[in-house]
Amino acid sequence: TSRAWLRMMKKNKADILKIFSKTYGKENANAWFQRWRIFFISCEILFGFNGGTEWGVSHYRFKKIHN
């Protein structure tokens, strides 16, 4: 669940910031941490609407059509 991801992010913040520093640069690592945090908070709230039946997730794999 999103709440579990938030707990894991908090628990592993130092390790995540190291990875984000390598990926996005040290000056951007905290901003990216907060962006992911907001994403998981938003998912938790949105997926809780109407008893969890209002929002869903679908995965699609698109294939280029060749003419």
Tens digit of pLDDT for each residue in 16-49? 999 999 999 999 999 999 999 999 999 999 988 8
Question: Does residue 62 form part of some domain?
Answer: no
Contact 42, 49 (CB under 8 A): no
What pLDDT sits at residue 9?
97
How many domains is the chain partitioned into structurally?
A: 1
Contact 32, 20 (CB under 8 A): yes
Question: Does residue 61 form part of some domain?
Answer: no
Q: Average pLDDT of 6-12?
A: 97
CB-side neighbour CA atoms (13 Å) of 49: 8
What pLDDT sits at residue 17?
98
Q: Average pLDDT of 3-23?
A: 97
Residue 37: give the domain boundaries. Answer: 2-52
Q: Structure pTM?
A: 0.76
